[in-house]
Amino acid sequence: MDYIFVAIGLLGLFLGGDALVRGAVGVAQKLAMPPLLIGLTVVGFGTSMPELLVSAQAALGGAPALAVGNIVGSNIGNILLIAGISALIWPIRVNGAALRVDIGFMLGATLALVPLFWLGEVGRIAGALLFAGLLVYLVTSYRNSQGAAEAEPAQAAAPMWKSLLWLAFGFAALLAGARFLVDGSVNIARSFGVSEAFIGLTIVAIGTSLPELATSFAAALKRHSDIAVGNIVGSNIFNVLGILGITAMISPIPVDPRFLTFDLPALLAATLALAALLLWRPVIGRGVGALLLASYATYIVTAQ
């Protein structure tokens, strides 16, 4: 039965990812909003909903290593796995100037984990501060989008009601798919005696990141680089500021020492590498994509 859950989850995630891209591009065209902003907010945050659901349930269920591992592992996977696969499918064209503020928030959110993990707990006050940072980011993104030129011609846009239906279906399919996938994967992993932290960093993190993978995969196939990049950056920001913040406000989260000494340095290195690529390379090609995937494989092998 667990293997059936995994198969159903994968199908739901890929169907939801395609629907989310269709709806997001349609909304961006109708509202004359840059697709990059839609990718950073609607798509990026929407595809992070499974991480929120899983992390909150893990914290409340007395599995803090699973909650923290889910967030850290998802962000590492977003950069090395999802950006790598997206670049292999179709080279990612980057407008570094348009991403400077968002990259700054992504770096700041990641660096904020250092003192929190060093203290050994993410308490309710820290969670509230992280969530406040998310609100600041949303306001900043909205203000920066004002007056931006349309990046997509409007003549091909679907009716607004249809785009909203695609978005609703995409969100529902992603959430349901992630639930089936995580439940099945965790049960299978635990039957093999794998540690809780490793499950969170790998199986659960990859499972809850499959919405991002499915969405970026669909965006890459449709050659919407702005959606793919915005999805990755926005998801990483939301995972730390939103998911960790909300989860910690619900229940303080103790942090296993291994996250500070091994997994957080890996996340910092991956985040800095992505920031450098986005700021200083106009195109992230297939060679870089292959290097990112090789780095992810190395991390998975050494994470246990």
pTM over 0.75: yes
CATH code of the domain covering residue 202: 1.20.1420.30
Would the pLDDT of 6 be above 90?
A: no
Crossing angle of the two packed helices 124-145 and 96-119, in degrees rounded to 10: 180
Q: Which tens digits make up the pLDDT trace of 226-284?
A: 777 887 898 899 999 999 999 999 889 999 898 999 999 999 999 999 999 988 887 88
The domain in which residue 266 lies consists of: 2-303
Q: What is the mean pLDDT of residues 13-29?
A: 76
Cα gap 298→304, rounded to integer Å: 11
Residue 196, C-beta contacts closer than 8 angstroms, at least 6 positions apart = 63, 65, 66, 69
Average pLDDT over residues 36-62: 73
Give the max Cα distance, the chain. 55
Least confident window among 74-88, 125-139, 218-232: 218-232
According to the model, what pLDDT value does residue 152 have? 45
The tally of domains found in the chain comes to: 1
pLDDT digits (tens, 9 = 90+) for 137-171: 988 887 876 655 444 444 456 788 898 899 889 88
